[in-house]
Amino acid sequence: MALKCLSPLSLLTRRLSAPEFVIQCCYHKKVVDHYENPRNVGSLDKNSKKVGTGLVGAPACGDVMKLQIEVDDQGKIVDARFKTFGCGSAIASSSLATEWVKGKTLDEALEIKNTDIAKELRLPPVKLHCSMLAEDAIRAALADYRLKQRDDQQEAVRASN
């Protein structure tokens, strides 16, 4: 497999370290790009009524993903942030997910599937769980946001009685 990934000339002209060899050989350039230049890293105010937070993990591999969305008064996602502890594919999946949810309505964001993320990043089968985590994180953030809105509405009803 290694010989398919690297040209013979590159083997003669330079030596690759083990991590560099794996990245150049086995991951698509989109994964490498999102891993080396992750978009939307950080946190939003989790106490804000306009912010939904999803925290998910995969016990099998140890990946943990926090994805947050900020929603405007019209129900459109205006910002998204993530923090991920995990492999390059998990980081890339989180980064891509935050890019994709921005500008979408809540219902449109729910339509993002792990298969779409995996296809875009061209994840190998052994890394599909990373795209599943990203979908789960989006769903958890949306659920948290909707729960906050429901609680806010219930408080308003109680206050008016």
H or E segment and range at residue 16:
none
Three-state SS for 47?
coil
DSSP for 87-127, written as a single string: -HHHHHHHHHHHHHHTT-BHHHHHT--HHHHHHHHT--GGG
C-beta separation of 88 from 35 below 8 A = yes
User: Longest Cα pair distance anywhere in the chain, in angstroms?
Assistant: 79
C-beta separation of 32 from 90 below 8 A = no
C-beta separation of 150 from 110 below 8 A = no
- Supply the residues annotated as catalytic: 61, 130
